[in-house]
Amino acid sequence: MSERVKREPTKLVPVPSTNIIPERDVDKTPILECRHLGIDFGGLTAVNDFNMAIGRTEIAGLIGPNGAGKTTVFNLLTKVYQPTRGTILLGGVDTHSMSTVQVNKAGIARTFQNIRLFANLSVEDNVKLGLHNHIGYGMWTGIFRLPSYWREERIAHERAMELLSIFDMEGLADVKAGSLPYGAQRRLEIVRALATNPSLLLLDEPAAGMNPSETAELMDNIVKIRDTFQIAVLLIEHDMSLVMGICEGICVLNFGQIIAKGTPDEIKNNPEVIKAYLGSRKEG
């Protein structure tokens, strides 16, 4: 782990439903609370009895071996799949019966494990699509180029540039998203997700395919995003330097079941986690 990413450990405190969140967020409703969440595909139980809470400004991690159900949890949270049982509370509001689009409007934005950009559109248009629900003109205004078209497009352009500047990507605004290098595509996905103005950002393996220095930079940026936008982040990641470096609360999943929850130090030394996932040679 590089020097620049060493951070003060956060104290986690329990909330009523046996979940833990950072001490500083404890007087606010957790942004996300899952209660006994589960989904079956036919006879196969992919996720079962998943309980988790995330504080308003927490960076949380979800780790576990391949096929443990991590991405399935993301798909449940964003309603790509409807849960078979259990409840998801987003800022205290039940998301039952919401669609993917409604969940996004309610405040969850995500990135994808296998990058899903709008590959034939420019980088700027990709970000503007994230801003879609914050641009206020309709079809006819667009066709007839009424004054509000020019006004709204100018605001969207400025906002898009501002968001791209988080990752120093303003210079790439006119490039086709599909022709960006891999790392830049991952960063663009994060910018696009941020553009929807979420209160919870889900990152699915944000550091996949990045080299150690890119990963270190990404860690700083995730923390910067949390600090600037005051949002919560939940990330899936296999890179333990990233998870142990920036996550405050970590949840370990194995065969669809949570096997451990706690601070990075607790997780690192949990014998069950070491057996199921980390392996005996300790990392970090």
Partner 1 sequence: MKKTLKLSKTSKGNFATYGMVILAYAILQFLGSNAVREGGLLSPTLRGQLVPICAYVVMALSLNLTVGILGELSLGHAGFMSVGAFSGTIAAIALQNTIPAGGPRLLIAMVIGAAFATVAGILIGIPVLRLNGDYLAIVTLAFGEIIKSLITNLYVGKDANGLHFSFITNNMRLGEGGQMLLNGPMGINGINKISTFTAGFVLILIALFVIFNLVNSRSGRAIMALRDNRIAAESVGIPVTKYKMMAFVTSAALAGSAGALFALGQNSLISTKFDFNTSILVLVFVVLGGLGRMWGSIIAAAALTILPEALRQFSDYRMLVYAIVLILVMLATNNPTLKGFFAKLFRKPEEVETGKGGEGK
Q: Tell me which residues touch partner 1 (CB under 8 A).
A: 78, 80, 99-101, 104-105, 109-110, 112, 116-121, 125, 128-130, 132-133, 135, 137-139, 141-145, 149-150, 152-154, 156-157, 174, 178, 192-193, 195-196
- Identify any residues that bridge with 249 across adjacent strands, giving them in sequence order: 60
Shortest distance in whole angstroms from residue 40 CB to partner 1? 22
Strands 85-90 and 93-94: antiparallel
Residue 56 burial (10 A CB sphere; 0-12, 13-18, 19+) = buried
Shortest distance in whole angstroms from residue 224 CB to partner 1? 22
Residue 212: which H helix or E strand, with range? helix 212-229
Q: Is 172 helix (H, G, I), strand (E, B) or coil?
A: helix
* Phi-psi label, residue 15: left if phi above 0, alpha if psi -120 to 50, beta otherwise: beta
Shortest distance in whole angstroms from residue 54 CB to partner 1? 18
Shortest distance in whole angstroms from residue 150 CB to partner 1? 6
Give the nearer residue to partner 1 in terms of CB position, either 55 or 83.
83
- Identify any residues that bridge with 61 across adjacent strands, giving them in sequence order: 235, 250
Shortest distance in whole angstroms from residue 129 CB to partner 1? 5
**For residue 177, how many other CB atoms are within 10 A of its CB?**
23
Shortest distance in whole angstroms from residue 201 CB to partner 1? 12
DSSP 108-168: EEE--SS----TTSBHHHHHHHHTGGG----HHHHHHT-HHHHHHHHHHHHHHHHHHGGGT
Sign of CA dihedral 228, 229, 233, 235: negative
